Structure 1
């Protein structure tokens, strides 16, 4: 039977005779991790919808010069995959993308992935207890799917954030966000302005300084930077790390060491004093000019914003062709850029290292739960959830790397794997019972939200400064888990049906 419906103003035919068990939105680390686990189980049919023309997520989109991870490679990879042959302690962007593409090939995922297929709408059908999903790209006809479960794996770093700068739209030169870098960005011999000094900027700026005639760095807020201390592995080390047991031991050690840094985020002494001293010593050792050093000294508590790793950012700022502007870019008039300080610069190229729309994911406006409620409406006061994975009013839906599921001090992949275990537990529960749908109760979500708020209250994220970890309207910590990676797994790694409402096959009621 085919049903014709209208979604987003477009007529869509949905083939009701065919359905899948799980629809996964996004083919980055989270989506491919979910797909790998489902493929290995061999119990559920599934499809991965990816809006781009290739897999990789963040590591597909970000190809700017110097792109690399700031988490050690053996921790920033799947524990359930064979160890990869990483060349150095911190992997480059292209190595990570290669790793994800190899995962697709070796796990047989390609046949499940639909590229150039962006989510248009996912709507919960109460009567069928299924998600009605339409997807496609451009103005062409949409594709439709009927899925028992929906997994949102759209990530936090997928929608570029462009600040409101007067006159930016009339700038005659190139404007490029770091997440949209391409081969035609004309840096050689150009007058280049970089807006921002966050994680992407500190990697990119040294490379721009090598090629630009003049480089102006607009810095609204100076970052804390500690030594990166990267190094390449020897041939013997690489061979040893291909042994799963050795790689597992290294992963566990790295995880434990990184979790130790959470005490800094609680503002505890002496840990926070030690990391602050390390950052300030790094600044003093690399920057001799007292005026520049003063401009580069943060005025907020360390750890509130992401602590950056770099050995070449400070030296790059002291090159003769680099100007450090300690204020934000405020306006553009033709090719002239004016900073908040009043200083002006003639530029040919503007690079926006300005981050992402992370607190309010745009995909939430395309997900419709019970009674026509959009996920964006449910999150109008900031993202909330239960177990950082499920949301009341949205049955059989799981959100990966979403509300309070990230870390500021440890590996995102470890967190994703914890969530995968939770989702697999829920699927196992539904597969072994007569339950048609699972929906966490509003009370359970509210209690979990209070727990998050209580745990967050004393952290540097809510007491040290404003950051992208905090929802801009509610002031709540909505992106980070206010604890260690290990505590997240202990709290959220095992599915428990107790806080759920369930719809049975044998009746219309709930229990």
Structure 2
């Protein structure tokens, strides 16, 4: 850890994507002294990084936005990437966040020293009492470790790092992966390439996408009669919440699955191709996919579907597990992201000197997806077991922001220097989550998805409705946390704290301290609720 003089703030937010922007807005409104560290040169997170052809949202755009910053001008029911990125940029400017963001600043290490978070970056050193991680799960691309890949003489890139300078016209292209990204970019590149070889390890269910341009009259109403947009948003939310019942009852999902089978049969007439594209698991076990163009693209004469995973690469040839060999000019990976092994976990070190990665051992766990025992004053946004198979990430983000602000408000009202979730509280919550997940389609649907981590545990998804989420993750309960008054002396070394210790001297639920160091606007100020 560097010893140079640090820039000190009350709160550091890491990441300027949807979660980081939302956090910064609400923290700024509440009067907290904060900065945002962003590794890129602009805001947007995954919607800045993912620029592949056809990139779009698979949640209705009316829900894919902050409730406190509605956008009346969405061009489509399901917004495309440029629109979403522009929305996030406008929102950051509208709320005055840009001066608070340190761009081109990558966090290399964050370490709790017993008093503050000491944060090393590629662009200086920072110290903060509160650290908010908004790095998100759609952050680092996942590339398979294929023998011979490093010696491939052609072009290689991941869908989230699309090489727009490489001309695909007339090229022989291997596409690896058939998930959410691939079903969007495959129809876009199919007319350009000479041959497209789609290597499919597992067939996915694809539902029709009820998408269309937003009529001008609706956009006009949304702009001048905001209540109509709120009604529109609530209608979509209610429909998706009703749909979430099926995720918790696989037998119900099997009925809905018939829509996917109908979509497959109406689009694919070739029996052999249809068989190759028919999934062998229950709809919803993997991420729901929607497209009106994916299946038609696979029927084109220049497309070949190989229902095999890639085993290795030899020269310019891609070799499937059954020995099928195809010579190609380019390989495009649509293989997703590091969901259950987020790289940021290797760089965040808690009270006992261990990193999140060391503590999690391949299975991320947190209390309410937000706080981790052993990591005081650390708050995760879109953390473990908060994903949903049916609703918007913005719903989760705003739910957590209410909790975060209530926590920080409680801290400054009571003069607490730090809070840390109690180990038993975290363990009981995670046991409850795993028990509830065991009967959902995510765990019992007969597939192996990215929801499941290296230890076979579902560390990704929330097993209940988002209605229950907003009720459960709402009010900060001090009884769930170890607290330390501001006036309590801090040990000079973190080694005084034994790994896994439940408490340390001076850590209590004391409310006697009146000194508040996290208030910019003065003791007693209350954060605004989102």
For the aligned residue pairs, the C-alpha RMSD in angstroms reads: 1.2
Aligned to 2:213: 232
3-state SS of paired residue (2:35): strand
Residue 110 of structure 1: CA displacement? 0.5
Which stretch of the first structure deviates more once superposed, 328-337 or 71-80?
A: 328-337
Which residue is equivalent to 2:355?
374
Structure 1 residue 47: Cα displacement: 0.7
Q: What CA distance in whole angstroms lies between the structure 2 residues aligned with 1:267 and 1:480?
A: 15
Paired with 2:68 and 2:111, the residues of 1 have a C-alpha distance of 33
Whole-angstrom CA distance in 2 between matches of 1:264 and 1:311: 23
Show CA shifts across 1:178-213 (max 9, x none).
Answer: 000132122111011100000000000001101001
Corresponding residue number in structure 2 for 1:462: 443
Q: Aligned residue for 2:432? A: 451
Provide the residue aligned with 1:139 in structure 2. Answer: none
1:352 aligns with 2:333: yes
Using the TM superposition, name which of 493-502 and 107-116 deviates more.
493-502
Q: 2:248 touches 2:464 (CA, 8 Å); kept in 1?
A: no
1:69 to 53, 57, 64: 57
Distance in 2 separating the partners of 1:173 and 1:294: 32
> Does residue 1:21 correspond to 2:10, yes or no?
yes
* Residue pair 2:197, 2:303 contacting (<8 A) in 1 also: yes
Residue-by-residue CA offset, 1:258-306 (whole Å, 9 max, x unaligned): 111222212354x313321000000000000011000000011211101
Structure-1 residue corresponding to 2:69: 81
Question: Secondary structure at the residue paired with 2:479?
Answer: coil
SS in 2 for 1:261: helix
Report what 1:133 is aligned to. 119
In structure 2, the residue matched to 1:3 is none
In 2, the alpha carbon distance for the partners of 1:240 and 1:366 equals: 47
Given that residues 172 and 334 in structure 1 are in contact (C-alpha distance below 8 angstroms), is that contact kept between their aligned partners in structure 2? Answer: yes
The answer for unaligned runs of 5 or more in structure 2 is 490-505, 509-530
Segments of 5+ residues of structure 1 without an aligned counterpart are 1-6, 137-141
Matched position secondary structure for 2:352 = helix
Alignment of 1:114-193 (within 5 A): 114-126=102-114, 129-136=115-122, 142-193=123-174
1:472 corresponds to: 454
Quote the residue 2:515 is aligned against: none
* 1:404-454 Cα deviation digits (max 9, x unpaired): 111111111101110011000011111111211011101111111111111
Alpha-carbon distance in 2 for matches of 1:502, 1:209: 58
Q: Is the 8 A contact 2:72 2:229 kept in 1?
A: no
Trace 1:399-410 onto structure 2 (pairs within 5 A): 399-410=380-391
Question: For residues 389 and 399 of structure 2, what CA distance do their matches in structure 1 show?
Answer: 16
Quick one: which of 22, 32, 45 aligns to 1:33?
Answer: 22
Say whether 1:103 aligns with 2:94.
Answer: no
1:343 aligns with 2:340: no
Q: Could you tell me whether the CA contact under 8 Å between 1:83 and 1:244 is conserved in 2?
A: no
For 1:163, what is the secondary structure of its paired residue? coil
SS of 2:477 mapped into structure 1: coil
Q: Displacement, 1:381?
A: 4.3
- Structure 2 match to 1:4: none
More displaced, 394-403 or 457-466? 457-466
Shift, 1:241, TM fit: 2.1
Determine whether 1:388 maps to 2:369: yes
Q: CA deviation at 1:61?
A: 0.5
Any idea what the Cα deviations from partners look like across 1:141-196, whole Å, max 9, x if unmatched?
A: x4111101000111101111011212111110000100001321221110111000
Cα shift at 1:248: 1.4
Is 2:213 the counterpart of 1:259?
no
Matched with 1:493 is 474
1:300 and 2:281 matched: yes
1:422 maps to what in 2?
403
CA-CA distance at 1:239 after TM superposition: 1.0
Equivalent in the alignment of 1:274: 255
